[in-house]
C-alpha cells in the first residue's frame, strides 16, 4: 500500500482461493479471519452466492451483526427464495434488537422450510420477546420501516 487512502494489497491467490481458505478458517473457529478473506472474495465475485453466504456467516459468528445483516440482505436480493438467508437476516436483526423485522424474516424462513426446527424455535423466541416487551409497556424496538444504517 503506497498511500493511506489506497486499498491494501490483496492476499495471495484469487477469489476461489480466498473462498476456500475463508471457509476453512470459518470451519476452524476463526470467523474474523474468515471474514477478512471472504470480503476479498466477495469484492472480486459480488454475485457469487456461496461466497456471500460464507461471508455473512463469518460476520455473524464474529458478532458483526450489522454487517452480517447487510450481507444476508444481499443474498436475499440475489435469491429471494433463499430460506437460509431469511433465517440469517432474522437472526442478525434479532441481535440488533430489531425484533419486528427479525420476526418477519424468521416467519418467512419458517414458511419456506417448516421442516427446520431451528427456524421455528428462533421465531418463537423473537415473538416471545415482542410479547414480553409489549406486556411490560416497553417501546417496540426496531420498527418494520427501519433500515440498516
Query: Can you tell me the distance from the alpha carbon of 102 to that of 93, in angstroms, rounded to the nearest whole number?
Result: 5
State residue 1's pLDDT score. 47
- What residue spans define the domains of the chain? 14-63, 80-138
Instruction: Read off the pTM.
Output: 0.86
pLDDT band per the 50, 70, 90 thresholds, residue 45: very high
Grouping H, G, I as helix, E, B as strand and the rest as coil, residue 100 is helix
Q: What is the pLDDT of residues 102-137, one digit of tens each?
A: 999 999 999 999 999 999 999 999 999 999 998 888
The mean-pLDDT minimum among 13-17, 119-123, 145-149 falls in 145-149
Contact 53, 69 (CB under 8 A): no
Helices and strands, number each (H, E), in the chain: 7, 0
Amino acid at each position: 500500500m503506497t498511500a493511506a487512502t489506497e486499498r491494501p494489497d490483496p492476499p495471495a491467490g484469487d477469489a476461489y482461493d480466498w473462498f476456500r481458505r475463508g471457509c476453512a478458517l470459518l470451519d476452524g473457529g476463526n470467523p474474523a479471519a474468515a471474514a477478512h478473506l471472504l470480503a476479498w472474495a466477495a469484492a472480486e465475485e459480488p454475485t457469487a452466492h456461496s461466497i456471500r453466504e460464507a461471508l455473512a456467516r463469518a460476520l455473524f459468528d464474529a458478532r458483526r451483526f450489522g454487517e452480517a445483516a447487510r450481507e444476508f440482505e444481499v443474498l436475499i436480493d440475489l435469491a429471494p427464495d433463499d430460506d437460509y438467508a431469511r433465517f440469517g437476516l432474522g437472526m442478525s436483526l434479532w441481535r440488533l434488537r430489531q425484533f419486528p423485522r427479525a420476526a418477519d424474516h424468521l416467519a418467512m424462513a419458517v414458511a419456506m422450510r417448516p421442516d427446520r426446527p431451528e427456524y421455528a424455535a428462533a421465531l418463537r423466541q423473537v415473538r416471545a420477546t415482542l410479547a414480553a416487551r409489549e406486556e411490560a409497556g416497553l417501546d417496540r424496538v426496531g420498527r418494520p420501516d427501519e433500515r440498516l444504517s
